[in-house]
Amino acid sequence: MAKTYQRSPLAPDTFPDLPVIDGLRLATAEAGVRYAGRRDVLLAVLSPGTTMAGVFTRSATRSANVLDCQAKIGADSDAGAAIVVNSGNSNAFTGKAGDGSVAAICQAVAERTGLPASRVFTSSTGVIGERLPHDRIIAKLDALLGALDPAKIDEAAQAIMTTDTFPKGASATVEIGGKPVRIAGIAKGSGMIAPDMATMLVYIFTDARIARADLQPMLNRLTDLTFNNITVDSDTSTSDTLLLAATGASGVDVTGHAVFEDALHAVMLDLAHQVVKDGEGATKFVTVRVTGAASDADARVHALSIANSPLIKTAIAGEDPNWGRVVMAIGKSGAAADRDTLSIRFGDILVAENGWVAESYKEADGAAYMKNQSLTIHADIGLGQGQATVWTCDLTHGYISINADYRS
């Protein structure tokens, strides 16, 4: 985290221009939670009338912050809200002291903003098991409140980074009834990424007006199509949090407007793909598409088995069109498969079918395809109509280098 990692070759050229979201103000600060010389705390303040939805890691050892957010997220309130995020220390597995740190931060924000503590949400990301120096964060609150600005979302994306090599942002604007509705999101996460909301922090803001009772199920649906279908290393974090805040400041009620859900889906998918593209050590972005499975659930099991296989991920790193390892991963997944009905494609190239390599397949074609930076592995199981898509990256020397000495 103090170290600077080489920017991912899959990173976008620049951070996108994100629209200002009415009803949202942000500020960042250098609190020195773990390392000096970088912004490591974010404060976001949301106007009265904001509705909040969230999804969280299902880890049995989730952090104090996550437990606190989960307890608060279900309540309706017109009071507005605040979000405090620190990087450098995850406040996970810090016992009762961790619960105390969360309470202290929420109380301090409440006192200074007039918000009830039940409307202050916190996230912490970084090393597990070390006491969070919450006093350093609280000491910066007055400065943060004095610096709140609607146009600071780029700094926010920077402040929440840990081993990320680039800040992640995405946005969409849709018109409903002739009026614009804006969505802007930021994310962090590059390792310990796996389904069930793994090691990511994601904050999405919109000026849409929508009731919590509609916003939460929409977020659940879209998470299952986006963040829950990405994997870097199959490891699930104790801190994953996605908060979605709808300020209502546009005055546009988006309830029942599919165009809004589609736009939110696009923002979430963009952010999810950026997390994969910043996968620790990643040099390839891989789409794994499974069709023809006995059910959608079976398709997802196969797709994740392919996407999490170290042997496939290393083969991709080596640009080796090793489709035999795809057969292996389908075979071991536990979901239904049949050697003789299976077919495998790399991009548009039919590689295997009828229980064997395809007659038309030329190894040189497969090898040439594997040189692309973005790859699609498509397995059709040949048993039914189930389908799923997941996204992952390759497994390289970079992953080992980053994770063999993360804490040093």
Binding of its own copies at residue 93 (CB under 8 A)? yes
Give the DSSP H/E element, type plus range, for residue 194.
none
Q: Which stretch binds its own copies (CB under 8 A): 34-42, 112-120, 181-189, 228-236?
A: 228-236
**130's tokens:** 């070390």
In order of 22, 48, 125, the CA distances from 45 in angstroms are: 11, 10, 20
Report the residue number, 47 or 234, with the smaller CB distance to its own copies.
234
Report the residue number, 53 or 232, with the smaller CB distance to its own copies.
232
Q: Name beta bridge partners: 243.
A: 54, 203
Residue choice 9, 129, 177, 251 for contact with its own copies (CB under 8 A) = 129
DSSP for residue 4: P
CB neighbour class for 147 (10 Å; exposed up to 12, middle 13-18, buried from 19) = middle
Report the residue number, 175 or 338, with the smaller CB distance to its own copies.
338
Shortest Å distance, C-beta 296 to its own copies = 18
Q: Name beta bridge partners: 343.
A: 380
- Residue ranges of alpha helices (H) inside 258-396 are 258-277, 296-308, 310-317, 323-332, 363-369
Shortest Å distance, C-beta 101 to its own copies = 12
Report the residue number, 236 or 287, with the smaller CB distance to its own copies.
236
Is-contact 90 66, C-beta < 8 A? no
Shortest Å distance, C-beta 400 to its own copies = 5
**201's tokens:** 């922090």
Binding of its own copies at residue 73 (CB under 8 A)? no
Secondary structure of 53-76 in HEC code, one letter for each residue: EEEECCCCCCCHHHHHHHHHHCCC
Active-site positions? 199
Residue choice 36, 71, 75, 97 for contact with its own copies (CB under 8 A) = 97
Shortest Å distance, C-beta 131 to its own copies = 8
Is-contact 329 305, C-beta < 8 A? yes
Nearest-angstrom CA–CA distance, 257 and 252: 11
Residue choice 27, 105, 329, 349 for contact with its own copies (CB under 8 A) = 329
Residue choice 70, 234, 376, 389 for contact with its own copies (CB under 8 A) = 234
Report the residue number, 247 or 343, with the smaller CB distance to its own copies.
343
Q: What is the maximum alpha-carbon separation in the chain?
A: 72
Q: Which residues in the 184-203 window bind its own copies by CB under 8 A?
A: 191-192, 194, 196, 198
Residue choice 50, 59, 123, 247 for contact with its own copies (CB under 8 A) = 59
Of how many residues is the chain composed? 408
**323's tokens:** 């489709």
Shortest Å distance, C-beta 289 to its own copies = 18
- Radius of gyration of the chain measured on its C-alpha atoms: 22
Residue choice 311, 347, 365, 382 for contact with its own copies (CB under 8 A) = 311
Residue choice 86, 223, 241, 309 for contact with its own copies (CB under 8 A) = 309
The site string for its own copies over 241-260 (x = CB under 8 A, - otherwise) reads --------------------
Nearest to 27 by CA among 182, 129, 148: 148
Q: Tell me: is residue 261 an annotated ligand-binding position.
A: no
Residue list for the binding site for substrate = 162, 188, 199, 280, 403, 408
Residue list for the binding site = 162, 188, 199, 280, 403, 408
